[in-house]
Chains A and B, each alone.
Chain A
Amino acid sequence: NAGVTQTPKFRILKIGQSMTLQCTQDMNHNYMYWYRQDPGMGLKLIYYSVGAGITDKGEVPNGYNVSRSTTEDFPLRLELAAPSQTSVYFCASISGTGNTGELFFGEGSRLTVL
């Protein structure tokens, strides 16, 4: 039972490079989210999706893009990486049917932009 799987776990980027953080869940959840967590700070919502083909911005979307072509996958794209994007990124999901919002998180992707 894999749950929410994120790759890569660690990555170092140079300023201006681009990359995609992968997230997949095998629980058939409708709702998926990307958060970032900076040291000593709470989780900030970047983007979210309420189902395949539907995405929306969260609190801190600038510099990121997402897509949701399938129920399982919700990749996060970083274009023109900046040092301010150095953070730990968490993907999460919930089913959205008959529950009240318990999030299942991945183990995180630690990104450093130099």
Chain B
Amino acid sequence: SQKIEQNSEALNIQEGKTATLTCNYTNYSPAYLQWYRQDPGRGPVFLLLIRENEKEKRKERLKVTFDTTLKQSLFHITASQPADSATYLCALDEVDSSYKLIFGSGTRLLVRP
């Protein structure tokens, strides 16, 4: 069955450093992959989408890579700030016409001042 894995342990880093989060998947060939941010008590908010034929996508301090051979996506936040502290969710499409997404369990990022 399709499976998406994100590191369940929180990532704790110093302000100014680069945070790197990992998303691995198995039994799956998605057309695209998305990253969402979720703050406590709030709904997820879309950050970035990368397609299967794209290696890398950037948006301001965010960078996402997508390696379909390794079945892995890396999500980077450069020059991290305490305000970046949140849970980050990886999601992949089910490759049908209904735009359904399968979500990972998320990785919590803590940025220390």
Contact = CB atoms under 8 A, between A and B. Distances in A.
A74 interface: no
Interface string A95-114: 01000111111111000000
Contact of B44 (A45, A90, A94, A96): A90
A101 B43 contact: no
A106 B43 contact: yes
Given A101-B34, A101-B99, A107 B49 contact: no
A31 B94 CA distance: 14
B79 interface: no
A92 B45 CA distance: 11
A58 interface: yes
B8 interface: yes
Given A40-B105, A101-B93, A96 B43 contact: no
A20 B41 CA distance: 20
Given A101-B32, A102-B34, A106-B43, A41 B99 contact: no
A104 B102 CA distance: 15
Contacts, number: 65
B11 to A, nearest CB: 15
B49 A101 contact: yes
B36 to A, nearest CB: 8
B65 to A, nearest CB: 18
A103 B46 contact: yes
Contacts of B104: 42
Interface in A4-22: 4
Interface of A: 4, 31, 33, 35, 40-45, 48, 50, 56, 58, 90, 92, 94, 96, 100-108
26 contacts: A4-B43, A35-B103, A41-B105, A42-B102, A42-B103, A42-B104, A43-B101, A43-B103, A45-B102, A48-B98, A48-B100, A56-B98, A58-B100, A92-B43, A96-B99, A100-B32, A100-B49, A101-B101, A102-B34, A103-B34, A103-B91, A103-B99, A103-B101, A105-B43, A105-B44, A107-B41
